């Protein structure tokens, strides 16, 4: 009995608004209000750097706390928006 193939991973962007509170991560959203979702991690990282060049640059050189990230979406998080 063949098993269904798992869906390929999808990635979304998050940013930490307050560097003093590491619990406050938020999805980065497009102008239409939907989260940025990517099929390839490299594409997601490139967009993150495009949108937040200063924060990504500081993280690259360990000049501050990590405040941006690319995360793998959970399989049940189909469209990235809560229902």
Q: Which residue blocks in 35-78 are alpha helix, DSSP H?
A: 41-51, 53-60
This prediction has a pTM of 0.74
Q: Are 18 and 30 in contact (CB under 8 A)?
A: no
Q: What is the pLDDT of residues 1-15, one digit of tens each?
A: 688 888 889 999 999
The per-residue pLDDT of the chain, averaged, comes to 84
In this prediction, residue 63 carries a pLDDT of 67
Confidence class of residue 50 from pLDDT cuts 50, 70 and 90?
very high
Cβ atoms of 25 and 49 closer than 8 Å: no
Answer with the residue of higher pLDDT: 75 or 51. Answer: 51
User: How sure is the predictor about 20, in pLDDT bands with cuts at 50, 70 and 90?
Assistant: confident
């Amino acid at each position: 009995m063949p098993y269904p193939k798992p869906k390929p991973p999808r990635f979304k962007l998050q940013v930490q608004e307050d560097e003093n509170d590491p619990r406050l991560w938020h999805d980065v959203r497009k102008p239409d209000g939907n989260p940025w979702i990517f099929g390839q991690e490299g594409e997601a990282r490139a967009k993150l750097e495009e949108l937040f060049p200063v924060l990504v640059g500081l993280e690259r050189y360990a000049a501050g706390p990590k405040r941006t990230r690319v995360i793998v979406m959970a399989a049940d998080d189909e469209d990235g928006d809560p229902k």
